[in-house]
Chain A
Amino acid sequence: MFDIDSKKNGIFAKFAPLAKRAEAVSTLGRQPFGMTFDAMLSPTRARVGNAEVVLAGTNNYLGLTYDPRCMSAAKDAIDRQGTATTGSRLANGTYSDHVDLESALRDFFGAASALVCTTGYQANLASISALAGRGDHLLIDADSHACIYDACRLSDAETIRFRHNSPEDLAKRLSRLPAEGARLVVIEGLYSMLGDVAPVAEFVDVAHAHDAMIFVDEAHSIGCYGTNGRGVADAQGVLDKVDFLSGTFSKSFASIGGFCVSRHAAFEYVRLVSRPYLFTASGSPANVAAAHAALSVMAEDTSRMESLWARAHQLHAGLVDAGFEPASPTGPIIAVPRPDELTAVREWNALLRAGIYVNIAVPPATPQARSLLRLSVSAAHSEAEIDQIIGAFRQLSALAA
């Protein structure tokens, strides 16, 4: 597709195997990675070329991207503060809106400290890399998101992986560690690829029994689980025992940005040392305002969360009835494993032709090197739209033939 200079030591030579893989994918239709939407029509609809598609892979769990409260908060912030902060949180990039959002997050989660970062990726990088230093140990779930792995690389601590969702395996690995150094266990509430939920309460017990602190990334679970969407730790009754909880504004909050809250006030010191917090510009006024508005919606009103679950049950049951085997029980993320990458790509194209956009996920972004059609449900989906998605899956083998 793009010329690769085949000269030995050419800087692009390493991309040759990738180019071959992308080429194989592109012969099957549209390029699924980084495809373009020509117009957005609503939280659940877009135009691709001349065709209208139903969006079934957006992470827009509460469907707030077009909510009038979030939209007007963002527009008003631009009118008041302009389009950008043009600076780091430590310098000129902290506005009262950033501080107010941190205060609202502390209230919502009952936390002593809250840090708002420019993206969720950076929130994990910022907090994990600063908390775990030389001589410390990070213990991470084997299926952790890439940003948790990257946070470990940025940290000076040593990283030990434990088997996915296994508190017993974590206990074994914790008990092998030397007595010196702090220990931080990192898990996710809801795993983004397969849509499985962590036994957070058990992990909390194991971590604390072994003198470790626990960090839970609730990027996908906030807005979906727990009281008013406080997440999986809250749903399992252990929110007050979790030491650090991170999240993103890019999913249920219908914005962009991320945060980490902690029940430990000393977490505030992370602000002064953390490179991913310091060496990047702060979230734009519109993004901060939209996230804050979404948080207020969540705190006041659970009707969207209820719709989300009603649609999730409808979609999960419909897919099972159509003969598919989702990787996990009902939830906002429904992953349908496929036999291999090319089948997944062929089916992804067939669904798009039938007017349904889903995510496609392939190794190395997926656990156990699986190829997946990944769907996410939104509170904004209508019953009819979910039926349309199920209908396309029913005909999938014919459509993809």
Chain B
Amino acid sequence: MTSDTSAIFDQISKILSAHAKTDTPITPETRIAADLAIDSVEMFDIVMEIEDAYDISFPIEEASDIDSVQSLVDTIGRLTDV
């Protein structure tokens, strides 16, 4: 991880843990739906929080493909790198 992505990971971990319905520790490999029991509706709310945290547009179509925490971090990295 670069320092940028590790900062994103730290912030995302905080946001996700506030929504998680399990105590599974959050690592890059953690699967958001399967391990944290965050459903697709809640994921859409998390997307809004992320938009505000990073002042970006994060289309919900991008969220549909996200499965692991790492893929979420990568997507945010891409959306902030413009």
Q: Are B59 and A158 in contact (CB under 8 A)?
A: yes
Asked if A364 contacts B60 (CB within 8 A), the reply is: no
B41 pairs with A159, CB closer than 8 A: no
Complex Cα–Cα for A174 and B76 (A) = 19
How many A-B pairs fall under 8 Å by CB?
A: 40
- How distant is the Cα of A369 from the Cα of B57 in the complex, in angstroms? 25
Contact B39 A159 (CB under 8 A): no
Q: Shortest CB–CB separation between residue B73 and chain A, in angstroms?
A: 20
Q: Which residues in A have their C-beta under 8 angstroms from that of B60?
A: 152, 159-161
B33 in contact (CB, < 8 A): no
Does B65 sit at the interface, judged by CB under 8 A? no
Chain B residues with CB under 8 A of A158: 57, 59, 61-62
Min Cβ gap A368→B in Å is: 9
Q: Which residue of B lies closest to A138 (CB)?
A: B59
Q: For chain B residues 32-67, which have a beta carbon within 8 Å of chain A?
A: 39-41, 44-45, 47-48, 51-52, 55-62
Q: In chain A, residues 154-195, which have Cβ atoms closer than 8 Å to a Cβ of chain B? A: 158-163, 172-173, 176-178
Q: How large is the interface on A (under 10, 10 to 19, 20 to 34, 35 or more residues)?
A: 10 to 19
Chain B residues, Cβ within 8 Å of A173: 51, 57
Q: Do B59 and A364 touch (CB < 8 A)?
A: no
The CA of A13 and the CA of B41, in the complex, are separated in Å by 21
Would you list 18 pairs from A and B whose C-beta atoms are within 8 A, ordered by A residue? A137-B57, A137-B59, A142-B44, A152-B60, A158-B57, A159-B59, A159-B61, A160-B57, A160-B58, A160-B60, A161-B48, A161-B60, A162-B48, A173-B51, A176-B51, A176-B55, A363-B41, A369-B41
Main secondary structure of the interface of A (DSSP, over half): mixed
Rounded to whole Å, the gap between the CB of B63 and the closest CB of chain A is: 10
Inter-subunit contact B39/A364 (CB<8 Å):
yes
A163 touches B55 (CB 8 A): no
Q: Are A161 and B44 in contact (CB under 8 A)?
A: yes
Measured between beta carbons, the chain B residues less than 8 angstroms from A163 are: 48
Nearest-Cβ distance from residue A134 to partner chain B, whole angstroms? 12
**CA of A364 to CA of B40, assembled, Å:** 9
Q: Give Cα A48 to B39, complex, Å.
A: 36
Q: A259-286 CB contact bits vs B (8 Å, 1 = yes)? A: 0000000000000000000000000000
Could you list which residues of chain A lie within 8 angstroms of chain B, going by C-beta atoms? Answer: 137, 142, 152-153, 158-163, 172-173, 176-178, 363-364, 369
Contacting residues of chain B (8-53) with chain A, CB-CB under 8 angstroms: 39-41, 44-45, 47-48, 51-52
Complex contact B45–A142 (CB within 8 A): yes
> In the complex, what residue of chain A is closest to B58 when comparing beta carbons?
A160
Docked pose: A370 CA to B44 CA in angstroms: 16
4 closest A-B pairs by beta carbon, nearest first, are: A158-B59, A159-B60, A176-B57, A364-B41
Contact residues in A for B41 (Cβ distance below 8 Å) = 363-364, 369
How far is A53 from B59 in the complex, measured between Cα atoms in Å?
Answer: 46
Nearest chain B residue, comparing its CB with the CB of A177: B57
- Smallest CB-CB separation from A176: which chain B residue? B57
- Asked whether, in the complex, the Cβ of B48 is within 8 Å of the Cβ of A176, the reply is no
Complex CA distance for A159 and B55, rounded to whole angstroms: 16
Measured between alpha carbons, how far is A172 from B48 in the docked complex, in Å?
11
Cα distance A376–B24 when bound, in Å? 42
A142→B42 CA distance, assembly (Å): 11
| Chain A residue contacts of B57, Cβ below 8 A | 137, 158, 160, 173, 176-178
Q: State how many angstroms separate the Cβ of B34 from the closest Cβ of chain A.
A: 12
Residue of B nearest to A158 (CB): B59
CA–CA, A161 and B58, complex, Å? 9
The answer for the CA separation of A172 and B49 in the assembled complex, in Å, is 13
Residue of B nearest to A367 (CB): B41
Chain A, residue nearest B42 (CB): A369
Determine the chain B residues whose CB is within 8 A of the CB of A160 once the complex forms: 51, 57-60
Contacts of A137 in B (CB 8 A): 57, 59
Residues of A close to B45: CB separation below 8 A: 142
Chain B contacts of A142 at CB under 8 A? 44-45, 48
B residues less than 8 Å from A161 (CB atoms)? 44, 47-48, 60
Chain A residues near B58: list those with CB within 8 A: 160
Inter-chain CA distance A270–B52, complex, in Å, is: 34
Q: How far is the CA of A163 from the CA of B47 in the complex (A)?
A: 11
Most buried by A among B56, B58, B60, B62: B60
